[in-house]
Amino acid sequence: MPKYLLLKRYRGGPEPHRPFPPMDQWDPKDVEAHLAFLRHVTEMLTETGEYVDERALTPARSFVRYGGEDAAPVVTDGPHPETSDLVAGWMMVDVDSYERALEIAAHISSEPGPGGEPLHEWIEVRAVMEPGAPIESA
């Protein structure tokens, strides 16, 4: 079965369907409803055997590159978070088809936001390359 990475973003990607404030500005009840929904998705996918793993990520990050022979790595925090694409978290699923990965991503996109309204959040779906598989372009 193919594996897919479902990426959630703080910002970046297509224009939002419906703008909403950052989660740290939500009513605590809305945050709890949002997290309860995501826990339920995890439980459902675990029951079907499609769940692999998931993690939430903080906005803080560093970019690192090779500094050269006998040199320390080069590290920077730029581009700055207010201008860059930030990944909020990810979920890995192991499903029968690309269509099933899209179905799961669409369900996650319906997660509740402020006031309980669905976020209609964009979820990026990426196939995980299997060893020896040809590289496919988008």
Convert the pLDDT of each residue in 60-96 to its tens digit: 778 888 889 999 998 887 655 554 567 889 999 999 9
**Superfamily (CATH H level) for 3-67+74-127:** Dimeric alpha+beta barrel (3.30.70.1060)
pTM listed for this prediction: 0.81
The answer to whether residue 130 scores a pLDDT higher than 90 is no
- What are the residue ranges spanned by the domains of the chain? 3-67+74-127
Would you list the DSSP string of the chain?
--EEEEEEEEE-SSPPSS----GGGS-HHHHHHHHHHHHHHHHHHHHHT-EEEEEE--S---EEE---TT-PPEEE-PSPGGGS-EEEEEEEEE-S-HHHHHHHHHHHHT-B-GGG-B-----EEEEPPPTTPPPPP-
Per-residue pLDDT band at 136 (split at 50, 70, 90): low
